[in-house]
Amino acid sequence: MIKNYFKIAFRNLWRHKSFSLINIVGLAVGMTACFLIFMYVRFELSYDKFNQNFSQIHRLNTDIKTPNEVLHWSSASPPMGPTLQADFPEVKANARVFGAGFLVESNNHKFQENNLAFTDPSLLKIFTFPFIHGNPATALKDPFSVVLTEASAKKYFGGTDIVGKTLKLNGKQLVTITGVMQDVPLNSHFNFDMLISSSTMEKMKLIDMNEWGNFSNATYILLPEGYDGLKLQAKLPDFLKKHISEDKRRKGYNYELFIEPLKDVYMDTFRGAPVNGNLRNVYVFSIVAIFILLIACINFVNLTTARSTERAKEVGIRKVIGAGKNQLTTQFLGESIIISMIAFIVSVLLSMLLLPLFNQLAGKIISHNIIEHGYIFILFAIAVAIGFLAGIYPALVLTNFKITTILKGRFTSSVKGIFLRKGLVVVQFTISIVLIVGTIIVYNQLNFMRNQSLGFRTDQMLVLDFSGDSTVQAMSESLKHEFTQVPGVLSASGSGTTPGNGNSVAYSEVESRNGSLVPVNMNLYDVDFDFIPQYGMKIVAGRAFSRDFATDSTKSFVVNETTVKNLGYTSAKDAVGKTFNQWGRKGTIIGVVQDFHFESLQQNVKPLNLRINPHNLGVFTLKIKGGDIPNTLKAVESKWKVLIPQRPFSYYFLDQNFNKQYATEDRFGKLFMYFAVLAIMISCLGLLGLASYSTLQRTREIGIRKVLGATVPGIVNMLSKEFLWLVGIAAIIAFPLAWLGMHSWLKDFAYKINIAWWVFAVAGILAMMIAISTVAFQAIRAALANPVKSLRSE
Amino acid sequence: MNKTEVSESTMIKITDLEKFYRTEEVETIALNKLSIEIKTGEFVAIMGPSGCGKSTLLNILGMLDDPDEGSYVFNGIEVAHFTERKRADLRKHNIGFVFQSFNLIDELTVFENVELPLIYTGVPSSERVKRVEEVLDKMQIMHRRNHYPQQLSGGQQQRVAIARAVVNKPKLILADEPTGNLDSSNGNDVMELLTDLNEQGTTIIMVTHSEHDARYSHRIIRLLDGQSVMENIMI
């Protein structure tokens, strides 16, 4: 019996090649999209699960309450972890991670490494980082010991068997390699190229490990299995009261600690993580995958039920001969499962082919091949399920035909069936149009962000990064002068950071309108005298820093407009001359700079101040001529090698670097677009099948109409109209849905476009045009056919 | 199943059978209180003008359709209001069909078409091959066993259809204008085949427009407006 089913299924597929092709291609493409997204989603949800203690690891987060805001940070202060473990027996272990950057020297090769970490030995106990060489239990015990990842070991020494060898940090500090570990898995929420023992940091006197108010490090704790972190969290207010007495806290500040399970860290966009995912994107893509699959399945249902008239005769005969309903249902389900299996094989090949591209698009390697992790078996199960789900309705429809009607030859598609097919086409196009609108809006927003004036000059700004090297800082003025001598370089300035690259946040006290000193967390830009004019920033009140005023380098502050607004001043002018204390520096506000975007446009501009501080400079920005950038760059590099031979030449362009912040959105937009194209492609494939079938069925009608005098355009119009209607209805349903979806997406951006009406018009017209070109081909062919032929064929 | 009192030799007994077709506005009476009795081993022809209810009657007799009113006793069992499943079960073991338009499945070969009823009645594979070959041989169509229906002439297709109808050794064959699509020579061949089958004991009920074909039968029932108006006994 099964053999018979297979036989008839294959012969049927072969006889109706074009329908089979549409079905298989549609399903295969849908499955491929679905498989790739499935792997992406699985990867996103797999973060940190490689850790054996996954369920027991927790991160310690802090809310810092200042008098005028609450900062939700993902860090804690250095004494918190060890004290927590000492106070609470349920804390089995704690490890602190301090991000660091050093100039690393090995065999006279120098590398500026910015992804290093100081950490406690217990990190290797809490997290699962398998060692290739060395002993994880002791590797980070002693000061000046470091553990390298496999990749950095190979980079410095060309091999991994290097325990006992040394490296030099920042040109002076020798450290010994005590272990080489496997590279940090890609699905880890934090990664590093080298771990340095935390005792090194103490020896180097980089930080006061007993400072309760410095929230600069991540802290992880290990809790017993099954222990609810919230139970510990409930005890933390008392813990803080006990250890941080009023006098140890900054005035008006208060802290609250939170225990966050490791499973939530990667997707925590609220507090953030070094490597951050976005649950919303995971949902969006899961929905898109389901949509695309749905569209492909709808094709299958539509084409199969549309063809039911043809299959009806077979059903009738089989019933007469003795086939039961169950046997027929099994047969048709079997057929659809066979189709889905063929589509599955095609989609496995397609997925393998596209995976490298998809990895590139996703910005990370979500999977090396679809065979790993047993993905293929899960995908196989999904494919069978698709075959089953797509086949069940047509199977039921086909087997429910009444034999006598079929055998009388009076069988036609039921009104209900036609209505359903049209309804499903509407669903397909609704999804497609929503995706088109989404794509346009995502791209508009990206363009808007890229082209928005940021409040400072971004073009032809070459940034040279010396990572705060103190010898460079000491000679910054003369070095800047040297660089401006290079042909093509127009001017130079120094600053601690550049917009888009992060900055310090400093506890400050500023005089408010009523004369009292108000504590404010200020974003801090340490700059030199040339920074403001060179960046083209606009002073709206007071003045910029000037070498003419001796106090400017010690007592003067320039603040942004948001600071002025937050302090309650109605006019920028009113803020000039007010008292300002920050990190031991006491002085006054000398000027107000127009707000500029030092973070991405997703964020509102926050209070910020600039101050002169040559000891905190990290980069030089060179304004260069547009003409011959490569040559200018080469000349600057040669100069660098002469002036700063101790450091590798490291540079970036300000605009490119700033736009890097939108990489996630960029990828999101691209993926969205590709899937929108896929969705509309599969929808059109279905429409093509349905249109050709419907014209085929109306061959006689068309013939009669032509004999009676219908014109070719008239017939094309008649045949196309019926489908265009559906696209029109789809558009009406899609527009509000798309608006709602994209409105909610845009909410994440502080600076955003308004959703314009033309976006919907474009999407609607686009969908309409694609549908017309799909249907018209069939319609024209039918309309041009000789009516004598079509009437004879009856 | 409740056995109804009928004579030993009666295969089919229908009493006051009624069938209506309704559309939204019109109700058509296809069978109007029709009563007929057919004995085992009979060869009966049903004749009448178009729309007289011949095919409706055949469909009901073949359990493809159920009557609205009246009784239908098949081999002593009242089947008038059987469920579809029960009817299908009774049908596949007892009745073979031959149609004017052959109704072969285009995607299956001659052999596979004939084999199909045996598959549905659960006959094991080796037994199936034997029986299909036997019946193809008898119908002189063995040399065409691997061809598809479209590759055969009308006469050959009808032989295949008859082979398929008899392969399960049914007690009753229902033929709906079996020669309607054939030329006279092929038509005669088919009628000879049916006569042979009847002589071997199979009951045959045939709907036909052809007086010539009807002459092969033992008895002609003439229908008009859903009622039997005349019966001719053929001598």
Task: Read off the pLDDT of residues A554-600 as tens digits, 9 standing for 90 and up.
Answer: 999 999 999 999 888 999 999 999 999 998 899 999 999 999 999 98
Residues 6+ apart with CB under 8 A from A438: A672, A676, A738, A741, A742, A745
Q: Which residues form the domain of B67?
A: 10-233
In a domain, B195, yes or no: yes
Please, are residues B91 and B77 in contact by the beta-carbon 8 Å criterion? no
When divided into structural domains, chain B yields a total of 1
Check whether A4 has a pLDDT greater than 80: no
B157 CB within 8 Å of a chain A CB: no
DSSP letter for each residue of A500-559: TS--EEEEEEEE-TTS-EEEEEEEEEEE-TTHHHHTTPPEEEE----TT-TTHHHHEEEE
Check whether A165 has a pLDDT greater than 50: yes
Give the residue, A81 or A681, on which the prediction is more confident: A81
Q: Work out the minimum CA distance from B87 to partner chain A, whole angstroms.
A: 9
Residue % of chain A over a pLDDT of 90: 48
pLDDT, mean of residues A167-171 = 90
Give the residue, A483 or A363, on which the prediction is more confident: A483
Which positions in chain B touch A318 (Cβ < 8 Å)? 105, 116, 120
B22 CB within 8 Å of a chain A CB: no
Task: Read off the pLDDT of residues A41-82 as tens digits, 9 standing for 90 and up.
Answer: 989 999 999 999 999 999 999 998 887 788 899 999 999 999
Looking up tokens 């596979």 gives B112
A321–B84 CB contact, under 8 Å: no
Check whether A706 has a pLDDT greater than 80: no
A322–B104 CB contact, under 8 Å: no
Calpha distance B91→A81 (Å, rounded): 82
CATH number of the domain encompassing residue B55? 3.40.50.300
**Domain chopping of chain A, boundaries:** 2-43+278-448+663-792, 57-265, 461-661
Calpha distance B79→B2 (Å, rounded): 10
B90 CB within 8 Å of a chain A CB: no
Check whether B2 has a pLDDT greater than 60: no
Please, are residues A33 and A351 in contact by the beta-carbon 8 Å criterion? no
Calpha distance A690→A237 (Å, rounded): 67
Cα–Cα distances (Å) from A484 to A532, A561, A623, A650, A654, in that order, read 17, 32, 9, 18, 18
A109 CB within 8 Å of a chain B CB: no
Please, are residues A215 and A77 in contact by the beta-carbon 8 Å criterion? yes
A522 token code pair: 């200020």
Task: Read off the pLDDT of residues A516-560 as tens digits, 9 standing for 90 and up.
Answer: 888 888 999 999 999 999 999 999 999 999 999 999 999 999 999
Give the residue, A177 or A292, on which the prediction is more confident: A177
Check whether B69 has a pLDDT greater than 50: yes
B97–A320 CB contact, under 8 Å: yes
DSSP letter for each residue of A198-211: HHHHHHTT-S-TT-
> What is the dihedral sign for C-alpha A558, A561, A563, A564?
positive
Instruction: Mean pLDDT check: name the lowest of A79-88, A687-696, B123-132.
Output: A687-696
Calpha distance B84→B107 (Å, rounded): 26
A460: left (phi over 0), alpha (psi -120 to 50) or beta: left
Tell me which chain A residue has its CA closest to the CA of residue B96. A321
Give residues 398 to 417 of A whose Cβ lies within 8 Å of B. Answer: 403-404, 407-409
Calpha distance A443→A439 (Å, rounded): 6
The DSSP element (H or E) to which A7 belongs, if any, is helix A2-15
Locate all alpha helices (DSSP H) within A610-711, ordered by sequence: 629-643, 654-659, 663-697, 699-707
A4–B62 CB contact, under 8 Å: no
Q: Work out the minimum CA distance from A311 to partner chain B, whole angstroms.
A: 10
At A174, is the secondary structure helix, strand, or coil? strand
Task: Read off the pLDDT of residues B136-172 as tens digits, 9 standing for 90 and up.
Answer: 998 888 999 999 988 998 889 988 999 998 898 899 9
Residue % of chain B over a pLDDT of 70: 96
Calpha distance B219→B235 (Å, rounded): 9
The DSSP element (H or E) to which B159 belongs, if any, is helix B154-166
Please, which pLDDT band fits residue A700 given cuts at 50, 70 and 90?
A: confident
Cα–Cα distances (Å) from A268 to A221, A274, A275, A365, in that order, read 17, 10, 10, 21
Q: What is the pLDDT of residue A313?
A: 79
Please, which pLDDT band fits residue A783 given cuts at 50, 70 and 90?
A: confident
User: Which own/partner contact pairs does A375-380 have at CB distance under 8 Å and 24+ positions apart?
Assistant: A375/A35, A375/A38, A375/A39, A375/A42, A376/A348, A378/A38, A379/A31, A379/A35, A379/A38, A379/A344, A379/A348, A379/A351, A380/A344
**What's chain A's average pLDDT?**
88
B107 CB within 8 Å of a chain A CB: yes
Q: What is the pLDDT of residue A479?
A: 95
pLDDT, mean of residues A248-258 = 82
Residues facing A254 on adjacent strands: A65
Nearest to A680 by CA among A198, A306, A138, A288: A288
Please, which pLDDT band fits residue B7 given cuts at 50, 70 and 90?
A: low
B120–A316 CB contact, under 8 Å: no
Give the residue, A322 or A234, on which the prediction is more confident: A234
| Identity of the highest mean pLDDT range in A387-391, A660-664, A740-744, B47-51 | A740-744
Please, are residues A538 and A596 in contact by the beta-carbon 8 Å criterion? no
Check whether B8 has a pLDDT greater than 60: no
Q: What is the pLDDT of residue A712?
A: 82
Residue % of chain A over a pLDDT of 70: 97
How many alpha carbons lie under 13 Å from residue A166 in its C-beta half-sphere?
A: 8
pLDDT, mean of residues B177-202 = 89
Q: What is the pLDDT of residue A794?
A: 38
The DSSP element (H or E) to which A180 belongs, if any, is strand A173-181
**Percent helix, strand, coil in chain A (nearest 5)?**
50, 20, 30
Q: Is A357 exposed, middle or buried (0-12, 13-18, 19+ CB in 10 A)?
A: exposed
A278 CB within 8 Å of a chain B CB: no
Q: Work out the minimum CA distance from B4 to partner chain A, whole angstroms.
A: 25
Which positions in chain B touch A409 (Cβ < 8 Å)? 101
Strands (DSSP E) found in chain B: 10-22, 27-39, 43-47, 69-74, 77-78, 95-99, 172-176, 203-207, 219-224, 227-233
In a domain, B179, yes or no: yes
Q: Work out the minimum CA distance from A298 to partner chain B, whole angstroms.
A: 26
Residues 6+ apart with CB under 8 A from A553: A545, A612, A613, A614
Check whether B3 has a pLDDT greater than 50: no
Mutation choice for B interface testing from A321, A335, A403 by most B CBs within 10 A: A321
A4–B92 CB contact, under 8 Å: no
> What is the dihedral sign for C-alpha A541, A545, A548, A551?
positive
Calpha distance A231→A492 (Å, rounded): 55
Q: What is the pLDDT of residue A793?
A: 46
Which positions in chain B touch A319 (Cβ < 8 Å)? 64, 88
Calpha distance B216→A316 (Å, rounded): 29
A676 token code pair: 């929108």
pLDDT, mean of residues A399-418 = 69
Tell me which chain A residue has its CA closest to the CA of residue B101. A407
B64–A323 CB contact, under 8 Å: no
Which positions in chain B touch A314 (Cβ < 8 Å)? 105-107
∠A668-A674-A677 over CA atoms, to 5°?
A: 135
Q: pTM higher than 0.90 for the full model?
A: no
A189 CB within 8 Å of a chain B CB: no
The DSSP element (H or E) to which A777 belongs, if any, is helix A757-784
Please, are residues A613 and A496 in contact by the beta-carbon 8 Å criterion? yes
Check whether A791 has a pLDDT greater than 70: no
In a domain, B5, yes or no: no
Q: Work out the minimum CA distance from A25 to partner chain B, whole angstroms.
A: 23
Cα–Cα distances (Å) from A676 to A245, A358, A616, A791, in that order, read 58, 15, 48, 42
